[in-house]
Amino acid sequence: MSNLITINQKNVVVKEYNGQRVVTFKDIDLCHGRPQGTASRNFRENRQHFIDGIDFYSVDLTNDEIRRQFGVGKNAGRTVTAVTESGYLMLVKSFTDNLAWQVQRALVNNYFRAPKPAADSTLKLQIQQERAHAMLMNAKARALKTIMQTVGDKHLSGIAAQVFGLTALEEVTGRRIDYRPECGKLYSAEDIAAEVGSNRITVGKRATQAGLKTDEYGITILSKSEHSPKQVPVFMYNEKGRAAVMALFEKEV
């Protein structure tokens, strides 16, 4: 997209400051075909009528980028006067020839008040979309890291690691994976405790003492802790494990 606007057959580089378009004294003299220094002289002679921050800005030339934008060389001083639309109209009051009226109209309508191209909003939308995509990719990368760490957790059973990995991959890729390893119906310690009239802690201790927390009798999965957001290993019993644990309690009867 070009940053030049033609006024009176002269190319003016578009300049913006503090969210609005501005021109320099040099731009004004160029467009009106006046000797260099005319606009700055008018400004100095009527300085008391111009309000800083409304009719003009004193822009600090702090780096080369700002100097290039305002067309100022390195030896031109530390500041440049950026004239707003209101300041421009005040400056050219003394320009009353026919050409001056034409240039004023062209500068106001085609420069100061020119509508911003639709490409600006399109570019902003594109930047927002790219930013959202980058955030999504970062989130997926973190999720994938968690997957790799969790799948390698020594507490997880092989089947549980497969199920967790497949489920997490669905979240990361956004695609459903139909395959799941067969593990049958599973029972928690609380489920079995309710059947034998005990509690989950006692069920867990008995099962551990009897050596029942193996792949033969169930699987170890990760479940949210009751007292924190952390994931903790929990043993889930299969049908054989359920029957074995219930048998431990039947022996007490």
Query: Which string of DSSP letters, residue by residue, matches 52-110?
Result: BTTTEEEEE--SHHHHHHTT--TTS-SEEEEE-HHHHHHHGGG--SHHHHHHHHHIIII
Give per-residue pLDDT as tens, 164-218: 666 666 666 667 666 656 767 889 999 999 999 999 899 999 999 999 988 888 8
Q: How many CA atoms lie within 13 A of 103 on its CB side?
A: 24
Give per-residue pLDDT as tens, 2-40: 588 899 999 998 998 888 999 999 999 999 999 999 999
Query: In sequence order, which residues have a C-beta less than 8 Å from that of residue 232 and are 6 or more positions away?
Result: 222, 223, 224, 225
- Average of per-residue pLDDT across 160-166: 64
- List the single range of 65-69, 150-154, 177-181 with lowest mean pLDDT: 150-154
Give per-residue pLDDT as tens, 77-99: 788 999 999 999 999 988 888 88
Structural tokens at position 156? 């997880």
Task: Determine the Cα–Cα distance for residues 22 and 51; give it in Å rounded to an integer.
Answer: 15
The ranges assigned to domains in the chain are 4-115, 120-173, 189-250
Q: Are 150 and 45 in contact (CB under 8 A)?
A: no
Residue 1's pLDDT band (cuts 50, 70, 90): very low
Residue 253's pLDDT band (cuts 50, 70, 90): very low
Q: Is the pLDDT of residue 117 over 50?
A: yes
